[in-house]
């Protein structure tokens, strides 16, 4: 009786009825059948290239540039020589995966007759599998382009190696319908050439602008450096250079040891925000994104690595604060503690806490903050130790520095 339940009837690729013996293990019946290669059952998805023209499954008419997604499942269901797809979702998953990989493009026709294209992106419309058309990228002419499609990881083999950039006109030329990117399908195997669809230059510009605004690409045009902002039409010039997102700028890179020519040779070196930025440009070979530069400079000021000499308040922008004077102090001044006289702030009495009492405060910090919601609760903390000969402060200072940059004994 047990052996009778380990026999399955199936139709092979020639259309002949076959009997297959399988062995039940710890898994349930259906997962066991899915593992039997001869049964040719697919639940999740299959490789889209297998049903494209020239693939092993002749589903896609060789002369057609596109096919209705809804008809693909029907073809697999009608023809016994093809694998068995367990539900239409298998085709949906296959096409969605192929569009993200760039193997297929998808054209979605809206009820009003307008269309939207997807390539190298998620398909972000409902019910696309009912009216969508799968297209061969080499035959498709897209009327829009997702920002992800212009990134280096979407065009492998075409972007230069880091840190080199690519001219915007060169990036646009990749979408002339005559280029292909290289997809590595399996480790150790030669990459497959995947055609890139044709897209108008204006649409490529829009995609690049969106990627720059999102911070995924960095655009440099002359002295303009744009990151996490939308570039203007003027900055989207054919000769503009597009780079990968630059690495994070460390505050240490702004100090005299890294940018010697930006600082004076006094005991307490001085410079201005504008001069510091100009020397950073020379060191990096490109104008650094101003917002990223100001953000890192503010971090350096906040950590006490750099002090603001002229004016007061936070640094806002390169244009507004370019003439602000900066200095590296020989010894950092102690931060002024707020007092009862500080407008708008109330200060508790100062007390000394043991490590155990400090832990009690940490445990109750959440409750304290909630009870004073909207009051901008701040804790002023200093660590006091008794000095002794040969004391090693490295571990302690490393820990304090992790809690708050620049904090040390």
How much is the mean pLDDT over the chain? 83
| Domain interval for residue 47 | 40-142
Average pLDDT score over residue span 379-388? 77
Contacts of 6 (CB under 8 A, 6+ apart): 21, 22, 23, 24
Question: What is the percent of the chain with per-residue pLDDT over 90, rounded to a whole number?
Answer: 48
Omega before residue 163 within 30° of 0, cis: yes
133 and 152 in a common domain: no
φ, ψ for residue 44 (rounded to 5)? -85, -65
pLDDT over 90 at 26, yes or no: no
Q: Is the pLDDT confidence value at 38 over 60? A: no
Q: Give the residue from 287, 311, 327 where a domain finishes.
A: 327
The H or E element that residue 116 is part of is: strand 115-118
Residue 19 within a domain = no
CB contact at 8 A, 243 and 163:
yes
Choose one of 226, 244, 262: the last residue of a domain. Answer: 244
Number of domains the chain is built from:
4
Q: Are residues 273 and 306 in the same domain?
A: yes
136 and 176 fall within a common domain: no
Q: What percent of the chain has pLDDT over 70?
A: 82
Residue 5 lies in a domain: no
Q: Report the predicted TM-score, pTM, of the whole model to 2 decimal places.
A: 0.69
The whole-number pLDDT of residue 10 equals 45
Higher pLDDT pick, 311 / 256:
256
Report whether pLDDT(9) > 50.
no
Q: Are residues 165 and 127 in the same domain?
A: no
Q: What is the distance between the terminal CA atoms of the chain, rounded to a whole angstrom?
A: 80
144 confidence band (pLDDT: 50, 70, 90) = very high
Q: What is the mean pLDDT of residues 95-101?
A: 93
- Based on the fold, state whether residues 231 and 294 are members of the same structural domain: no
Q: Is residue 343 part of a domain?
A: no
Of the candidates 68, 46, 71, the one whose C-alpha atom is nearest the C-alpha of residue 57 is: 46
Look at residue 298 and tell me if it is in a domain: yes
Do residue 120 and residue 157 come from a single domain? no
Residues 6+ apart with CB under 8 A from 384: 352
Residues 346-381: tens digit of each pLDDT: 777 777 777 777 778 788 877 877 777 767 777 777
Position 17 in a domain: no
Specify if 25 maps to a domain.
Answer: no
pLDDT of residue 50: 76
- pLDDT tens string 242-291: 999 999 899 999 999 999 999 999 889 999 999 999 999 999 989 999 99
Range of lowest pLDDT (10-14, 63-67, 122-126, 401-405): 10-14
Residues 157 and 214 in one domain: yes
Q: What is the pLDDT of residue 234?
A: 96
* pLDDT score for 37: 58
Q: Same structural domain for residues 138 and 175?
A: no
369/391 same-domain check: yes
72 sits in which H/E element = helix 69-78
Q: Is the pLDDT of residue 170 over 50?
A: yes
Same domain, 111 and 167: no
- Return d(Cα 409, Cα 404) in angstroms, integer: 12
Same domain, 50 and 136: yes
Does 267 or 206 have the greater pLDDT score?
Answer: 206
- Among 218, 244, 270, where does a domain finish? 244
Q: How many CB atoms lie within 10 A of CB 246?
A: 17
112 belongs to a structural domain: yes
**230 and 215 co-located in one domain:** yes
pLDDT, position 17: 54
Task: Find residue 108's DSSP bridge partners.
Answer: 116
Whether 107 is covered by a domain: the verdict is: yes
């Amino acid at each position: 009786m047990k052996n009778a339940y380990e026999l399955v009837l199936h139709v092979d690729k020639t259309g002949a009825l076959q009997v297959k013996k399988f062995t039940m293990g710890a898994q349930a019946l259906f997962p066991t059948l899915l593992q039997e290669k001869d049964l040719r059952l697919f639940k999740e998805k299959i490789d889209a290239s297998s049903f494209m023209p020239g693939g092993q499954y002749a589903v896609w008419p060789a002369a057609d540039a596109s096919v209705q997604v809804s008809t693909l499942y029907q073809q697999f269901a009608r023809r016994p020589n093809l694998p068995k797809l367990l539900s239409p979702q298998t085709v949906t998953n296959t096409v969605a995966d192929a569009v993200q990989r760039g193997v297929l493009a998808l054209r979605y026709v809206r009820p009003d007759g307008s269309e939207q294209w997807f390539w190298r992106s998620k398909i972000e419309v409902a019910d696309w599998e009912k009216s969508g058309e799968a297209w061969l990228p080499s035959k498709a002419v897209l009327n829009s382009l997702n920002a992800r499609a212009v990134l280096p990881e979407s065009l492998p083999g075409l972007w230069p190696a880091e840190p080199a950039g690519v001219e915007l006109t060169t990036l646009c030329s990749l979408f002339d319908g005559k280029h292909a990117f290289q997809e590595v399908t399996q480790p150790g195997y030669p990459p497959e050439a995947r055609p890139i669809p044709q897209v108008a230059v204006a649409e490529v510009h829009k995609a690049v602008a969106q990627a720059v605004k999102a911070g995924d690409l960095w655009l440099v045009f002359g002295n303009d450096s744009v990151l996490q902002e939308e570039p203007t039409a003027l900055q989207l010039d054919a000769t503009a250079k597009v780079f990968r997102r630059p690495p994070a700028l460390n505050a240490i890179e702004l100090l005299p040891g890294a940018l010697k020519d930006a600082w004076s040779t006094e005991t307490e070196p001085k410079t201005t925000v504008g001069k510091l930025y100009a020397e950073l440009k020379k060191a990096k070979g490109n104008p650094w994104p101003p917002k990223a530069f100001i953000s890192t400079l503010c971090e350096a000021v906040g950590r006490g690595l750099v002090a603001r000499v002229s004016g007061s308040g936070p640094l806002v922008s390169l244009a507004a604060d370019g003439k602000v004077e900066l200095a590296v102090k020989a010894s950092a001044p102690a931060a002024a503690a707020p007092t009862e006289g500080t407008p708008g702030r109330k200060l508790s009495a100062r007390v000394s806490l043991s490590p155990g009492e400090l832990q009690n405060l940490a445990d109750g910090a959440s409750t304290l903050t909630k009870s004073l919601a909207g009051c901008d609760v701040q804790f002023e903390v200093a660590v006091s130790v008794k000095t002794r000969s040969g004391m090693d402060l490295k571990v302690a200072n490393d820990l304090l520095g992790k809690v708050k940059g620049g904090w040390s004994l």
